Amino acid sequence: MTIIEIIDTFTFYGLDVILLSFLTAVTVQLIKLAPFTKNNKKLFTFAPFFTGTLYYAVYACIRNLSFVYVLKEYVSVLEHGISVGAAATLLYVLYEQFVRNKNSGQSVSESVISALIKSYVPERGLQKTAALIAEAIQKDVTGSGAKRAAEIIAENAEGDLCEDELKLLSKLIIETLAHVNA
């Protein structure tokens, strides 16, 4: 991803979504430090999206001075909340790649996938699994790419995942990559 594509992505989201995504990324990182969160790492895959949606709903209430707005325009609020979560994930990946430089050699797509599957796949196979998923999705974003991504996660995951979790995680990966590559 070039700097122009990154700037274009941030222009697409809007300043309010970018600021909320920064707040979301910081909040999720602070929550990860809490001692009670060590047991269930799987929740952190969805934490940016839930937190982003919550922050955007609060922002929409304040901006419109009405809670009713959130109820009437819930689709728009959810859409923007998911965008906040996707942008927060992108900010986290950019931080990991450029500031911490932990995932050298990975593409942005692979880094995003690594961040999303980190709670499910052991560290030793994380990069390989992310590369396989990125390749499967690159070949076919909808049909067999999503199915193949779910299969790859199931093959490499620690513990058993139910079919619904696999479908949801593969859809989340595809949605996030769609926002990142937009």
pLDDT digits (tens, 9 = 90+) for 108-123: 788 888 888 888 888 8
Q: Are 91 and 25 in contact (CB under 8 A)?
A: yes
| pLDDT, tens only, 129-172 | 888 888 888 777 556 777 888 888 888 888 777 888 888 888 88
pTM to 2 decimal places: 0.59
pLDDT, position 62: 92
**What is the domain range of residue 65?**
1-102
Based on the domain organization, do 42 and 128 belong to the same domain?
A: no
| Final residue in a domain of this structure, among 84, 102, 120 | 102
159: alpha, beta or left? (left if phi > 0; alpha if psi -120 to 50): left
Q: For residue 78, what are its two tokens?
A: 């959810």
Based on the domain organization, do 28 and 80 belong to the same domain?
A: yes
| Final residue in a domain of this structure, among 82, 102, 122 | 102
pLDDT, position 86: 86
Pick 74 or 141 by higher pLDDT.
Answer: 74
Based on the domain organization, do 129 and 76 belong to the same domain?
A: no
Number of domains in the chain: 2
